[in-house]
Structure 1
């Protein structure tokens, strides 16, 4: 077992760190938050005080961070990880960022003699805690056999998507579909409510019919009961992912009629200060426009 570094001890990071420790890895953890570092130490991880401190001892490093700017800063900035990593080390970035940043970091790593993989994940905090995440991998496929024991410590379904940046493309497309289905569910269930039909019965029909989807299974209770403050995946994070998706769609010259409309709904929810709520709170914007609520 090699020493494993971990950068970013948030909701997702905590679950992944716990699983790495459970699998017997010696984990060195970094976060800007003193409280997060205390948590890691209590779990049995060794704590460090900058990304650069991880490099000399850890040949395997995971990161789980909020967005592309902070990922680039942590890797390439002052006291950044890339300044101290040993040759042939592997970096697995599980953050959701834009493909271009992932490709830049891949190229920088290759030039310095180590390996960078964009490894965005799906499954939320429950998947991180249970070690059942779906991991979308972009990077050199020939290195995956050596990487698998570490990826399997945090995830169940590990899919090599393609070259550097392709994992991020897959994740952004995935989340754009999730966000679109969430908004569509809010709209349809509000139509049912205003037409005098019980939204829970309509949800039951969707669950058993050809419109069946996991979004309803995961986020449906929040939509049906109006419990949007019970955050499964924050609205701010979904808003960020949709923004990156929209940028990617424009770069590829693909019309984004559905995605751009859904993004505007998330923009409205963010403007209303709902970034800390669950991503399904986008339905409150539809409820306001429709002058009714799905829950009773």
Structure 2
């Protein structure tokens, strides 16, 4: 497979495009933003006027889109990607959606003899640009060898987790924990400051003790300095993901009291106008 369509060329997609081209793939790119397409063209991609056209010229399509509804529209619409692809083509959906939608897409693709994998990501725009993403893969393991070179072109740690939807389950569980830890850090730092221990002092203790966590490594500067305008992963995207987590827990009849609590905290932050700030803005007082 040398011809790849990339649909969604924003913060994550442009890094994916860059590393596919770097690894010798011919990339046909689509994004509704002319600016995003122009960046991809500068990187060496060939802009396309629609998802259908991006898929028509490809043997494999990667999508990086905002949520379940738009992924379904792009893939399953009358002029969608599934209709454009030849039999035995592949779709690697690197969006974060819910596992039920992923399974629905897998079944719809299978009817057209297209192989669909849910492949959500962790690592953010920096990881996408560096080609060091963590990729969580759900789908038919019979064809993993065929897609592995593409995955390895954009990611470093690749987890093959099982049947369709399992990649999304892992991503949603992962992001719920990130959200929970971030909110916990905000509370702990607020208490510490009131009691006379600075954020920087407490951060050193946390990172050298049993509470050591990677959230501080990634978002620590924003949390310690209050630079929430430096968006590494927006609060509105985190809010979307943790609500998908809560829906998934409900679908599988599993109680999720911590997940529900985190959803409530992020909803309050959304109501206070923090949607476009970094997700670490949850550390600001929201009560």
TM-score (norm 2): 0.98
Post-superposition shift, 1:56? Answer: 2.7
Query: What CA deviation, in whole Å up to 9, does each residue of 1:81-135 have, x standing for no partner?
Result: 1111001101000000011110001001111111000000000111101100000
Residue 13 of structure 2 aligns with which residue?
Answer: 13
Question: What is the distance in 1 between the residues matched to 2:162 and 2:87?
Answer: 23
Q: How do 1:3-82 residues align onto structure 2 when only pairs under 5 Å count? A: 3-82=3-82
Post-superposition shift, 1:33? Answer: 1.2
Residue 126 of structure 2 aligns with which residue?
Answer: 126
Count residues in correspondence.
287
SS at 1:11's partner residue?
Answer: coil
Post-superposition shift, 1:78? Answer: 3.5
Post-superposition shift, 1:34? Answer: 1.5
Question: What is the distance in 1 between the residues matched to 2:271 and 2:199?
Answer: 27
Residue 111 of structure 2 aligns with which residue?
Answer: 111
Residue 224 of structure 1 aligns with which residue?
Answer: 224
2:2 and 2:24 in contact (8 A); partners too: no
SS at 1:182's partner residue?
Answer: helix
Question: What is the distance in 1 between the residues matched to 2:50 and 2:207?
Answer: 47
Query: What CA deviation, in whole Å up to 9, does each residue of 1:213-252 have, x standing for no partner?
Result: 1001111111111111111101010000011001011111
Q: What residue ranges of structure 2 are gaps of 5+ in the alignment?
A: none
Question: What is the distance in 1 between the residues matched to 2:198 and 2:55?
Answer: 57
Residue 170 of structure 1 aligns with which residue?
Answer: 170
Residue 294 of structure 1 aligns with which residue?
Answer: none
Question: What is the distance in 2 between the residues matched to 1:241 and 1:85?
Answer: 29
Q: How do 1:237-248 residues align onto structure 2 when only pairs under 5 Å count? A: 237-248=237-248
Q: What residue ranges of structure 1 are gaps of 5+ in the alignment?
A: 290-296
Post-superposition shift, 1:288? Answer: 4.6
Aligned pair 1:161/2:188, yes or no? no
Question: What is the distance in 1 between the residues matched to 2:79 and 2:110?
Answer: 19
Post-superposition shift, 1:55? Answer: 2.8
SS at 2:56's partner residue?
Answer: coil
**Do the aligned partners of residues 270 and 288 (structure 1) sit closer, same or farther apart at CA in structure 2, a change above 3 Å counting?**
closer
2:2 and 2:59 in contact (8 A); partners too: yes
Residue 87 of structure 2 aligns with which residue?
Answer: 87
Post-superposition shift, 1:38? Answer: 1.5
2:94 and 2:118 in contact (8 A); partners too: yes
Question: What is the distance in 1 between the residues matched to 2:256 and 2:16?
Answer: 34
Question: What is the distance in 2 between the residues matched to 1:17 and 1:186?
Answer: 35
Moved more, 173-182 or 249-258: 249-258
Question: What is the distance in 2 between the residues matched to 1:84 and 1:258?
Answer: 42
Residue 96 of structure 2 aligns with which residue?
Answer: 96
Question: What is the distance in 2 between the residues matched to 1:53 and 1:148?
Answer: 24
Post-superposition shift, 1:199? Answer: 1.7
Give RMSD over aligned pairs.
0.9
Q: Show structure 1 runs of 4+ deviating over 6 A.
A: none
Query: What CA deviation, in whole Å up to 9, does each residue of 1:41-99 have, x standing for no partner?
Result: 12111111111112332011100000000000000113211111001101000000011
Residue 142 of structure 2 aligns with which residue?
Answer: 142
Aligned pair 1:191/2:191, yes or no? yes
Residue 249 of structure 1 aligns with which residue?
Answer: 249
Question: What is the distance in 1 between the residues matched to 2:157 and 2:271?
Answer: 36
